[in-house]
Amino acid sequence: MKIAYQGIPGCNSEEASELFATNQGFANPEYIPAVNSAGVTEMLRNGEADYGVMATHNLMAGEVTESRDALKTLNYRTLDAQWISIHHSLFVKREGVKIEKIASHVQAFGQCRKNLKKKYPGVELIETEDTALAARYLAEGRFPENTAVICRRNAGEMFGLHLVEERLEDDPRNMTEFVLIKPVHRINKIVIVAGLGLMGASMAKALKKHTDCIVLGWNRTRSVAERAFEDGVIDGIASDEDFKNCDMLIPVLYPEATVSFLQEKIPVMKKGSVVVDLVGVKASVTGRIGPLAESCGVRYTGGHPMTGKPQGGYERSDAEIYRGASMILVPTEATEPGDIEELSRFFRSLGFGNIQVCSAEIHDHMIAHTSQLAHVVSNSYVKSPVSANYFGFTGGSYKDMTRVACINEDLWSELFLLNRDALLTEIDDLIRNITMVRDAIQDNDRDTLKKLLREGREAKERIDAANPGQPSD
């Protein structure tokens, strides 16, 4: 998740970027200084950033023309807008300097116009691309010693400058509007989503909300596709001819159904079209579909979005279900050079916060542990006769343990069996660990029990230390 902002570290846009990231629930965002608004839009066009932040209006100085002009060059959507209080400080390089020049952004001059005229009449004003950049230039000696700069207090302090005056703005209620934007690629590609349950319909909704693609839907039960069309979730119901002409096909079906479906559709698809399946196991699917897609000239990559809801169905679909989630991409022999980068940008545009690329074997081994085993445990845990009387006796731990117990037995039995070896390994490890705890309790062996519990705590601490941005809790 990369956010390009107007300015450099220490500027107001950086503060706005952090606020937007919190509001949007972005995981581990990377903030990239783009100096000016044109730099932000250029990075968005080139795919160097996923989102952009810039100032658009100020209550005192009016429209930020720099941003207005830059935005004219980009197809974009505004995801969020926030008004932030702006306070300006005056800094010099060292105490006692006689101020003859003041450098800053033109907007800062506009917001401090009256005070500058009153307190520093006749000084020369030097326009810079950013207030924090002015502070950096002064610290680096790019301005004469008799120059002061207007910037945020933290920026001046960051560059070791001497504070002359705070709250230089003409009105203490001074505020600027900042926007969070994302590029929209207006290519009008035809995308077919096959399978309009929770995940498929959510994918269609995300495509409709965040792109200009023509979104067609297909579902085994046609009435679901008809409802999706009536609701505006899709632009139409995919016909046989549409599969021949589409630019991208995203099947969201059960594993074996996906294989059968793609074995039928890929041979009729045009060369160069893209297929990304969203099946929860990969080796058993990509191993059979990769060679077929390669022979047909269709670009095929496995995918797996790491999100969902305890219960499925079209009626529970949500365009924002993917926001901040991880998308796993699994290259195949039919993945062409540049596809992973292109797909990464594509899925980030739908709200995904992280793109993980790995082999089918690594995917299946990790998913057996992080997803499938959790469903096995949860489903087994609630079978205790005590569970029926849980009310009034639960805290967060019971809710966490039982959240995914409402399992779709048709889907998950298929997933479990297709990932049999990896899942059995994880179940065996779990049984072995639980048995050691059980035996220690049965033997009234507190020392061993404490040792086992300590080992688990230390393992959790190591996991969190290795993933400081995303602790496992």
pLDDT tens track for 53-67: 999 998 888 899 999
Neighbours of 258 (CB within 10 A): 22
Assess whether pLDDT exceeds 70 at residue 185. Answer: no
Please tell us whether the domain made up of 2-85+179-183 is placed in CATH 2.40.30.170.
no
Phi-psi category of residue 28: left, alpha or beta, with phi > 0 → left and psi -120 to 50 → alpha: left
pLDDT cut 90: percent of the chain above it: 76
Backbone angles phi, psi at 457, to 5 degrees: -60, -45
In angstroms, the CA 93 to CA 273 distance is 59
User: What pLDDT score does 397 carry?
Assistant: 87
User: What pLDDT score does 188 carry?
Assistant: 64
Sort 296 into a burial class: Cβ within 10 Å, 0-12 / 13-18 / 19+: middle
For every residue of 351-391, DSSP letters joined together read: T--EEEE--HHHHHHHHIIIIIHHHHHHHHHTTSGGGGG-T
Residue of 270 and 184 predicted with greater confidence:
270
| Direct distance between the N- and C-terminal alpha carbons of the chain, in angstroms, rounded to an integer | 21
User: What pLDDT score does 472 carry?
Assistant: 61
Q: What is the mean pLDDT of residues 86-113?
A: 94
User: What pLDDT score does 267 carry?
Assistant: 97
Residue pair 5/54 in contact (Cβ under 8 Å)? The answer is yes
For residue 336, the 8-state DSSP code is P
User: What pLDDT score does 473 carry?
Assistant: 55
- Secondary structure class of 171 (helix, strand, coil): coil
Which positions ≥6 away from 265 have C-beta within 8 Å?
A: 243, 249
Residue pair 138/91 in contact (Cβ under 8 Å)? The answer is yes
User: What pLDDT score does 390 carry?
Assistant: 80
In angstroms, the CA 100 to CA 113 distance is 16
Least confident of 43-47, 365-369, 468-472: 468-472
Q: What is the mean pLDDT of residues 62-82?
A: 89
pLDDT tens by residue, 156-165: 999 999 999 9
Residue of 241 and 77 predicted with greater confidence:
241
pLDDT tens by residue, 17-43: 999 999 888 888 999 999 899 999 999
Residues linked to residue 330 through DSSP beta bridges, in sequence order: 302
Please report, as a single letter, which amino acid is at residue 378: S
Fold for the domain defined by 89-168: D-Maltodextrin-Binding Protein; domain 2 (3.40.190)
In angstroms, the CA 110 to CA 12 distance is 16
Assess whether pLDDT exceeds 80 at residue 187. Answer: no
| Sequence ranges of the domains in the chain | 2-85+179-183, 89-168, 190-358, 369-442
Phi-psi category of residue 297: left, alpha or beta, with phi > 0 → left and psi -120 to 50 → alpha: left
User: What pLDDT score does 359 carry?
Assistant: 96
327-337 burial, b at 16+ Cβ within 10 Å, e below that, comes to bbbbbbebbee
Which residue, among 460, 283, 437, has the nearest Cα to 365 in the 3D structure? 283
- Secondary structure class of 214 (helix, strand, coil): strand
Q: What is the mean pLDDT of residues 180-198?
A: 86
Residue of 395 and 89 predicted with greater confidence:
89
Indicate the angle between helix axes 373-381 and 420-442, nearest 10 degrees: 50
Q: Give the CATH H-level superfamily of domain 190-358.
A: NAD(P)-binding Rossmann-like Domain (3.40.50.720)
Model's pTM, two decimal places?
Answer: 0.64
pLDDT tens by residue, 448-470: 999 999 999 999 999 888 877 66
User: What pLDDT score does 354 carry?
Assistant: 87
> What residue ranges in 321-465 does DSSP mark as E strands?
326-331, 354-357
Average pLDDT, rounded, for the chain: 92
pLDDT cut 70: percent of the chain above it: 98
Neighbours of 81 (CB within 10 A): 14
Domains 89-168 and 190-358 share a fold: no
pLDDT tens by residue, 372-423: 999 999 999 999 888 888 888 888 888 888 888 888 899 999 999 999 999 9
In angstroms, the CA 218 to CA 453 distance is 50
